[in-house]
Structure 1
Amino acid sequence: MTESYQHQFSDAVIVFREMRLPEPATPAGYSALISAYRLAVPLPRTLSATGEHHRITERDGWRIMTPRHAPHPTLEGHLTFALKYEGLDLAVLKRLFQVTGPAPIEALVRESPTGSYARRIWFLYEWLTGARIDLPDAEAGRYVPVLDPELQWPGPEKTASRYRIRDNLPGTPEFCPLVFRTKNLEKFINLELPRRAEAMVKDVPRDILARTAAFLLQKDSRSSYAIEGERPPHDRIQRWGRAIGEAGRQPIDRDELLRLQRIVLGDPRFVRLGLRKEGGFVGEHDRDNRMPLPDHISARPEDLPRLIDGMVAFDQGPARNLDAVIAAAILAFGFVYIHPFEDGNGRIHRYLIHHVLAIHGFNPPGVVFPVSAAILDQINEYRGVLESYSHRLVPLIEWEPTPQFNVRVLNDTGDLYRFFDATLHAEFLYACVQRTIERDLPEEAAFRQRYDQFRQQVDAFIDMPERLTDLLFRFLHQNGGHLSNRAREKEFAALTDDEAGRIEAIYAQTFGAN
């Protein structure tokens, strides 16, 4: 291809966009393209360069490859390097194609019409931009996947005969976050967590399983509100719990999302329901002049319909063919970054996790894994995962404050929410799901069984209403297995010393000494 389309690619550097490299090295692949074409995009979590040593090293967010990996210092050379070694970064590629226009892509395809990388680049250009390059359909070349399944999780394959490509992207041009294959994710998948959950509940008596499931459902609902710093009345917790228990029964679309928002808010008098008509952000305000201090900036109101439609298409298509937890991470975290509503986004975001797990049949029938409770217990890690992308997104957004102390986004930001790396999100969510299956579910079922034993043994020698037995247990549980003097003198003054001692012995036998 002619060099008239080429930009200047840098030589070895020690600093790249204020990031220090572990050693002097030459940017390669996406880092080289971002620098040469001055692309305003979130930087990939791992950047590539080629150094002087004949070993590959990874450190401080850089993968330093050997001299033999060095690409030709051209657009085609760095694009080929990126697709071969770094996988797809759709946000970088779309912005790059917007800058280059079709001419250099047409030139590289005409120069290598049967080349697998040239055809993949051609497909990606037309898929991302929606513009057709003046090229005849490919007539030769082995069919290859556009996304390398050895590097990233693919979606279902569709034949794209124009390019002789197998389109295995897990989304549409309106919404297609990607997840890299990692040792952590492979380890989680190999655990076969749905089978473990089924095996665990198989031996639990049906009535105990039903009570366990009911408790875990309410626990998840309560925890989801607690993550938002709210303590709503019990009826709202129950109402949202019922909604979570029905997750997966209805497909996700705009009407369903609005229904969920109505349920989660309870009293909508002070919040406008439906998609936002104004900007939005997560963060605080400056004390003096109420200037927004955003940690995260939501998608522009004018972009919301297309973004939501993209999520709907993902939910009703590729999500059904991906690993359940990976699909849940993509949909749920994509939603919370878009933040389409004035309020209720966080709880609906976590509802979407249950929705995807349910449509995949990931959890046993009637059982909801208390994922929100696991998130609440790891709230700092959760915030870190959210910030892993928000902190790279916010510096790229141009905004101004509004008279209502809100933000107004000034530049085109839609692609920042369509395309992002959801790998950390999937790993975090898998860890939460594993915890609920291996700890929360069996521990709660075992607790219910021990509590039944405790109550039966108490009922065997003393006639006591169920509400008093419950109160008795709570006092014992809170006081290390012993009835306090206050409880003996007030609520349980009628107990003899012998009866009190026997009850404490039963508690110790069934629950162990605290």
Structure 2
Amino acid sequence: MTAATARTYLGYEALIRRFNLRVPPLRRVFMATERTIETHARTSDGDERIELPLQRLSDTESLVGQLTFALKREHLNLTVLGALFERDEALTTVQEWLREKPSSRYSRTAGHLATWLTGHQFDYTLPPGSPRVSLLDEDEYVTGPGVSDPKFGVINNVLGNQAFSPLVRRTDKLTTLLNEGLADKVKAALSTIEPEMLSRAADYLYLSETRSTYNIENEIPDNNRAAKFRRLLESAGEPGALSEEQLCQWQNQIVSPLVAEHQYRSVQNWLSRSGRPRNIADFIPPAPDQVGLMMEGVAAVAASGSTGEFDPVLAAACASFGLVYVHPFLDGNGRLHRFLLHHLLRQSGFTPAGVVLPLSSRMLKQLERYSTLLKSYSRPRTAQLEYLLDSDSGTILVKSAQPRWLYAYFDATEVCEFILDCCKLCVEEDLLSEVLYLRAHDETVKALESWLDMRQSQLNTLIDVIVQGNGTLSNRKRKLAEGLTDEQLLKVEATVSEHFAAYIDSRALT
């Protein structure tokens, strides 16, 4: 084997291969090579391959060496560690490591995590004077309130708990978005809009958000369902914990009475896209016996956004995506997950009462990115399962285990970046764009009514369609100007173009 091809896997990837762990593939893999320089390669889908010079590494073979590398050099991966610490060999190795190096930061971290993840108890006493160590570096991760483990001298500052713990890395993009001061931008934007205009803009945004959340799922709700969802949006932010009873009440308002549920699901559900073979599942959520504990973890993360323990947008992002990943109901999970974003943002004070940010509209405009975030969780987990699916009779038998570590832990960094992006665009573009539209509409109506005799509803429709056509009415829609001469229509188009020029220009830039 040549120097160009000789590779030794390191850290988590080495542990996965050594124990044949059935876990989602790593997005970031380290390898040791005989090259003398460090190289980084990124695939088109964002996966990283990092090659390190072998001569700079001390132990690339032993289990302790691989664990040390993973804990020291890689992002914390509780899924891999959860699978690993189910193996007796791994637990025995950690026990020996603690005995041989009781003061080691990494042996203590491994012992703490093995206990935290599995409940296994080690024969160990912390040497006097050993410094406390934090599980996550606050410069690299968004952290939760630290919980001290005196046995190992480790401060566990992950977000959430054993049943649900998202990981949020402080990437350059995330840091930049957090430093935008989006909450202040929301308040500043709203302060410049007179109350009557803001009320009209909010009315449209509620309508837009309602339509978009159904459009994401290729549904067109009837007037009754749309009205119920809007009323639910208007009630978002009311005080109270995210309990099973509360979520059931919301689910009942979102779905048809025929599929209303009064508790979390007690059966295994799954998702399949239309057009796929009927015996293949796109996503198999956690087993029913895990749902309650996972949702308690989701609720704890959600609450941290209102208490100030966690940035409110990040808390809302992690909790809302956590809900759709857990899929606690047989129907309505997607709409409920998007509603939860609004509820938590308003509950934390990020969004003031009476105003809704058109987040679903933004998701609809970035549907591929949104879908990718959902699939990045669902696909690799479902791929680890063996199952029998009978779509015709509506049953699924999951033959393999569905351990907690497969579902409870995930990297939520890109989810948080996405929701921060959506909030930023909603504030800087969508809200102000709607106000700009309404002001232009008022000026246009005022100018046209001085000479044009047309029913208000017909005039509103005509203006809207001309704006959609960037200042012109297509021949196909000429009937909307029935009763107007060609000269009069040109005058209407010119008036609309004059007053909507700024709006049309701003829309062309988005």
TM-score clears 0.5: yes
2:269 corresponds in structure 1 to: 280
Q: Secondary structure at the match of 1:58?
A: strand
Q: Secondary structure at the match of 2:124?
A: coil
Q: How does 1:408-427 map to 2 (within 5 A)?
A: 408-413=397-402, 414-427=404-417
CA distance in 2 between counterparts of 1:80 and 1:261 reads 45
2:14 corresponds in structure 1 to: 32
1:7 corresponds in structure 2 to: none
Q: How does 1:196-275 map to 2 (within 5 A)?
A: 196-249=185-238, 250-265=240-255, 267-270=256-259, 274-275=263-264
Q: How does 1:425-464 map to 2 (within 5 A)?
A: 425-460=415-450
CA distance in 1 between counterparts of 2:477 and 2:91 reads 80
1:9 corresponds in structure 2 to: none
TM-superposition CA deviations, 1:189-235 (whole Å, max 9, x none): 22222223332222222211121122112211211111111101133
> Contact 2:252 / 2:261 at 8 angstroms: preserved in 1?
no
1:86 corresponds in structure 2 to: 74
> Contact 2:135 / 2:154 at 8 angstroms: preserved in 1?
yes
The change in CA–CA distance for 1:43 and 1:140 in structure 2 (over 3 A counts) is: farther
2:40 corresponds in structure 1 to: 58
CA distance in 1 between counterparts of 2:285 and 2:2 reads 35
The change in CA–CA distance for 1:488 and 1:81 in structure 2 (over 3 A counts) is: closer
- Larger deviation: 123-132 or 452-461? 452-461
Superposed displacement of residue 150, structure 1? 3.2
1:314 corresponds in structure 2 to: 301
> Contact 1:285 / 1:292 at 8 angstroms: preserved in 2?
no
User: Could you list the runs of 5+ residues in structure 1 that have no partner in the other structure?
Assistant: 1-11, 15-21
TM-superposition CA deviations, 1:284-343 (whole Å, max 9, x none): 4788xx742111112212222222222222223478522333322321222212212111
TM-superposition CA deviations, 1:485-513 (whole Å, max 9, x none): 899888763x6888666544432220139
1:142 corresponds in structure 2 to: 131
CA distance in 1 between counterparts of 2:202 and 2:282 reads 36
RMSD: 2.9
Q: Are positions 1:120 and 2:109 aligned together?
A: yes
Superposed displacement of residue 475, structure 1? 4.7
Superposed displacement of residue 386, structure 1? 1.6
Superposed displacement of residue 359, structure 1? 3.1
1:18 corresponds in structure 2 to: none
The change in CA–CA distance for 1:225 and 1:55 in structure 2 (over 3 A counts) is: same
1:5 corresponds in structure 2 to: none
Q: Are positions 1:130 and 2:119 aligned together?
A: yes
> Contact 1:138 / 1:162 at 8 angstroms: preserved in 2?
no
2:508 corresponds in structure 1 to: none
Q: Secondary structure at the match of 2:9?
A: strand
Q: How does 1:398-413 map to 2 (within 5 A)?
A: 398-402=386-390, 404-413=393-402
**AA in 2 matched with 1:64:** E
> Contact 2:306 / 2:348 at 8 angstroms: preserved in 1?
no
1:8 corresponds in structure 2 to: none
Superposed displacement of residue 169, structure 1? 0.9
2:279 corresponds in structure 1 to: 292
1:19 corresponds in structure 2 to: none
Q: How does 1:311-350 map to 2 (within 5 A)?
A: 311-317=298-304, 320=307, 321-350=309-338
Superposed displacement of residue 138, structure 1? 5.2
Percent of aligned pairs sharing the same letter? 31
TM, length-normalised to structure 1: 0.87
- Larger deviation: 477-486 or 427-436? 477-486
Q: How many residues of Structure 1 are paired with residues of Structure 2 in the alignment?
A: 492
Q: Are positions 1:303 and 2:262 aligned together?
A: no
**AA in 1 matched with 2:224:** D
CA distance in 2 between counterparts of 1:408 and 1:152 reads 38
1:3 corresponds in structure 2 to: none
1:374 corresponds in structure 2 to: 362
- Larger deviation: 33-42 or 222-231? 33-42
CA distance in 2 between counterparts of 1:104 and 1:489 reads 80
> Contact 2:143 / 2:157 at 8 angstroms: preserved in 1?
yes
CA distance in 1 between counterparts of 2:175 and 2:33 reads 30
CA distance in 1 between counterparts of 2:306 and 2:351 reads 16
> Contact 2:281 / 2:389 at 8 angstroms: preserved in 1?
no
Q: Secondary structure at the match of 2:383?
A: helix
The change in CA–CA distance for 1:510 and 1:491 in structure 2 (over 3 A counts) is: closer
CA distance in 1 between counterparts of 2:12 and 2:306 reads 27
2:383 corresponds in structure 1 to: 395
Superposed displacement of residue 145, structure 1? 0.8
Q: Are positions 1:174 and 2:156 aligned together?
A: no
The change in CA–CA distance for 1:122 and 1:477 in structure 2 (over 3 A counts) is: same
- Larger deviation: 22-31 or 371-380? 22-31
TM-superposition CA deviations, 1:66-120 (whole Å, max 9, x none): 3314545222221121111112101111111111364322221222222222222
The change in CA–CA distance for 1:452 and 1:251 in structure 2 (over 3 A counts) is: farther
Q: Secondary structure at the match of 1:293?
A: coil
> Contact 1:284 / 1:293 at 8 angstroms: preserved in 2?
no
The change in CA–CA distance for 1:248 and 1:270 in structure 2 (over 3 A counts) is: closer
CA distance in 2 between counterparts of 1:268 and 1:70 reads 63
**AA in 2 matched with 1:163:** F
CA distance in 2 between counterparts of 1:291 and 1:506 reads 55
2:507 corresponds in structure 1 to: none
**AA in 2 matched with 1:246:** S
> Contact 1:252 / 1:312 at 8 angstroms: preserved in 2?
yes
The change in CA–CA distance for 1:416 and 1:318 in structure 2 (over 3 A counts) is: farther
Superposed displacement of residue 362, structure 1? 2.4
> Contact 2:283 / 2:382 at 8 angstroms: preserved in 1?
yes
Q: Secondary structure at the match of 1:177?
A: strand
CA distance in 2 between counterparts of 1:24 and 1:438 reads 51
User: Could you list the runs of 5+ residues in structure 2 that have no partner in the other structure?
Assistant: 505-510
TM-superposition CA deviations, 1:40-72 (whole Å, max 9, x none): 111221111222234332214312223314545
TM, length-normalised to structure 2: 0.87
TM-superposition CA deviations, 1:229-266 (whole Å, max 9, x none): 1101133223212222332323211111111111110x
Q: How does 1:59-78 map to 2 (within 5 A)?
A: 59=41, 60=43, 61-67=48-54, 68-78=56-66
TM-superposition CA deviations, 1:450-498 (whole Å, max 9, x none): 11222233345567664344234235335554568899888763x6888
